[in-house]
Amino acid sequence: MNQKTYGVVPGLNMGLFSPKELEEIVAIINKYDVPMTKITSAQRLALLGMDEEEQKKLKTELHPLIRPVAVNGVHYVQACPGSQWCKFGTSDSLALGARIEQISFPEPLPGKVKVGISGCRMSCTEPYVRDVGIFATKKGWTLVFGGNGGGNPRLGDIIAEALTDDQVVDLVQKCLTVYQQNAKYKSRTARFMERFGIDAFKEVVLSE
């Protein structure tokens, strides 16, 4: 029975990588004879089944290939190909995702924050069951907050619609600030919104 449980998840932000980056990652995987590789639901690459010492060595070699994320920011951002690469996309979800990834705070957020961004109303990244969900319509971005797809699922609440890129980035920052300032430690946004209430939340984040 395999007792090796350590894993490394390279930061393939939004699932993006160049052929050269992939070649380099595969070369390192082969060098360490990684037992299992998997594309995760978060659009990242999991390297599984290694012992702790080998994992540390591999992580050191992978470090130059892992794109940095903001300190005290979101756990990960999922994004569809968007208007640049998909015929159904009405907005550039990848460009917006790159901006959302860089949102940071002086202190860590209370719990994991997962973001799903879709470039059209079909919502392939399931924004209604993400902590922060964003999807595009012909009028602009719709922002959804407080969703969860886990063992105690919750559909997120629509906070605002017809937003520009700048407006939705600013509003995500405000939503997460209110969450950070008022949520209990390790409480995800779904449980926070159940306690705080959508009316009170919108009153705070939509005020000037």
Indicate whether 131 pLDDT > 80: yes
**Structural domain of residue 30, as residue ranges?**
6-65
Sign of torsion over alpha carbons 13, 16, 19, 20:
negative
- Is 97 inside a domain boundary? yes
CB 103 within 8 A of CB 172: yes
When the pLDDT of each residue in the chain is averaged and rounded to a whole number, the result is 92
- Is 70 inside a domain boundary? no
- Could you tell me the pLDDT band of residue 119, with boundaries at 50, 70 and 90? very high
pLDDT (0 to 100) of residue 71: 80
Sign of torsion over alpha carbons 150, 186, 173, 205:
positive
- Is 83 inside a domain boundary? yes
**What value does the mean pLDDT take over residues 63-90?**
88
One domain, residues 96 and 196: yes
One domain, residues 80 and 56: no
- Is 124 inside a domain boundary? yes
